[in-house]
Amino acid sequence: MGAVATPKTPDEAQKPKNATPRGKEQNWRLIWLIIAVVALLVVIVPAVLPHSSSKSLSYSQFLTDANNHKIKTATFDNTSGSISGKLKNGTSYQSMGFNPPLPTDIATVRRDGVVVNVVTPSNALSTWLPYIFLIALFVGMMVFVGRQARGQMNGIMSVGKSKAKLYSTERPSTTFADVAGYQGVKTEIAEVVDFLKHPARFNDIGARIPRGILLVGPPGTGKTLMARAVAGEAGVPFLSVTGSDFMEMFVGVGASRVRDLFQTARKQAPAIIFVDEIDSIGRKRGAGLGGGHDEREQTLNQMLSEMDGFDSAEGVVIIGATNRPDILDPALLRPGRFDRQIVVPLPDLEERLPILKVHCRGKQIAEGVDLEMVARGTPGMSGADLANLVNEAALHAVRRGSVTITMEDFETARDRVLIGQRRDSLVLSDAEKERVAYHEGGHAILAYVLEEADPVHKVTILPTGMALGVTMQMPMEERHIHPRQMIEDSLCVRMGGRVAELIVYGDLSTGAANDLVGNTELARRMVREWGMSDKIGPMAWGSQGQVFLGEDLMHSRDYSEDTSRVIDDEVERILREQETRAIELLNRHRAGLNKVAEALLESETIDGETVGKLVDEAFGGPVHERGPKAVVPSFNGSVHADSAQPPTAIDEPTSEKPWSPPTWSGGDLST
Nearest residue to 250 via CA among 290, 285, 295, 291: 295
Q: Is 530 exposed, middle or buried (0-12, 13-18, 19+ CB in 10 A)?
A: middle
For residues 147 and 24, the answer to whether their CB atoms sit within 8 Å is: no
For residues 327 and 548, the answer to whether their CB atoms sit within 8 Å is: yes
Instruction: Please tell me the distance from the alpha carbon of residue 270 to that of residue 129, in angstroms, as a whole number.
Output: 61
Q: Is 193 exposed, middle or buried (0-12, 13-18, 19+ CB in 10 A)?
A: buried
In a 3-state reduction of DSSP, which class is residue 607?
strand
Strand order across the beta sheet in which 470-473 lies: 605-607, 456-460, 470-473, 663-665
Supply angle C-alpha 520, 522, 528, rounded to 5.
Answer: 95
For residues 338 and 328, the answer to whether their CB atoms sit within 8 Å is: no
From first CA to last CA, the distance across the chain in angstroms is: 36
Nearest residue to 445 via CA among 667, 643, 615, 605: 615
Q: For residue 471, which phi and psi values (nearest 5 degrees)?
A: -115, 115
Query: Cα 103 to chain center, whole Å?
Result: 90
Other Cβ atoms closer than 10 A to 445: 32
- Of the residues 233, 295, 392, 440, only one is catalytic, namely 440
For residues 258 and 246, the answer to whether their CB atoms sit within 8 Å is: yes
Instruction: For residue 440, indicate whether it is catalytic.
Output: yes
DSSP annotation string for 403-447:
SSB-HHHHHHHHHHHHH--B-TT----HHHHHHHHHHHHHHHHHH
Torsion of CA 647, 653, 657, 661, to 10 degrees: -40
Q: Is the dihedral of CA 236, 242, 243, 247 positive or negative?
A: negative
Instruction: Please tell me the distance from the alpha carbon of residue 103 to that of residue 105, in angstroms, as a whole number.
Output: 5
Q: Name 472's bridge partners.
A: 458, 664
Among the residues of 49-168, which ranges form H helices?
Answer: 59-67, 103-110, 124-157
Torsion of CA 61, 64, 66, 67, to 10 degrees: 180
Instruction: Please tell me the distance from the alpha carbon of residue 225 to that of residue 176, in angstroms, as a whole number.
Output: 10
Catalytic residue ranges: 440
